[in-house]
Amino acid sequence: MSLPFPLSGPTLVVGPSNVGKTRCTAHALETWVDAHGPAGCVVLDFAPTVERDGTILGGPLTQFTTVPEEVYHGVVDAHAPRAESESDDEAMALAAENADAASDRLDAAPADPAAVFVNDATIALQSETALTARLTDYCDRADCAVLNAFESDELGTDNPVSAGERAAVAQLRSWADRVVGLPFR
């Protein structure tokens, strides 16, 4: 399978649950490593795994590929705020925990990346708008950045987590050189 975008500059892959965003990002990582090797490669994996109606949604990049040992692999044991909470306040508290953990992984990442691959970027950005700029600034240091993000109203629209997520996606859309919507239409 060939990628529907070049591995240069920033690319944002968006879509609802279970359309292949993580698989596409894993394929981009494999393609990059095959062409350039693992040196300078950074993987930030913010995806929680959620079961809804007997279907597994989301999950780590490693469900589709093996991340080479030489690659910086910053993994967050993320919460799914809307699925794991009973109130907006509780959801925002979980989203803030995700943002703090993602910020820590970003702080620990190599200063001069060649390529950055981010799985489920918006999980880290649902409560902390300043983190979106930090993430895009970091990705701008690389020759290639591929980020995927949930974009749908299937998990609600009138809650603060969804509002934060929409704001983050809007920022990522305006920043990226290209936006790839899944499923392909």
Rounded mean pLDDT of the chain? 94
Residue 19 and residue 1: Cα distance in Å, rounded?
16
CB contact at 8 A, 165 and 80:
no
How many Cα atoms occupy the beta-carbon half-sphere of 152 within 13 Å? 16
Confidence of residue 185 (pLDDT cuts 50, 70, 90): low
CA–CA–CA angle 12, 103, 161 (5° rounding):
65
Tens digit of pLDDT for each residue in 38-92? 999 999 999 998 877 777 777 999 999 999 999 999 999 999 999 899 999 999 9
Confidence of residue 1 (pLDDT cuts 50, 70, 90): low
Does 184 have pLDDT greater than 70? no
Structural element, H or E, at residue 27: helix 21-36
Q: Which of 26-30, 78-82, 155-159 has the lowest mean pLDDT?
A: 155-159
Residue 163 and residue 11: Cα distance in Å, rounded?
22
State how beta strands 178-181 and 9-15 pair. parallel
% residues pLDDT > 70 (the chain): 97
Which of 51-55, 84-88, 125-129, 136-140 reaches the highest mean pLDDT? 136-140
Q: Is the peptide bond before 4 cis (omega within 30 degrees of 0)?
A: no
Does 183 have pLDDT greater than 90? no
Does 157 have pLDDT greater than 90? no
Residue 30 and residue 33: Cα distance in Å, rounded?
5
Sign of CA dihedral 36, 42, 48, 49: positive
DSSP-based helix, strand, coil % in the chain, nearest 5: 40, 20, 35
Which pair of tokens denotes residue 62?
């490693």
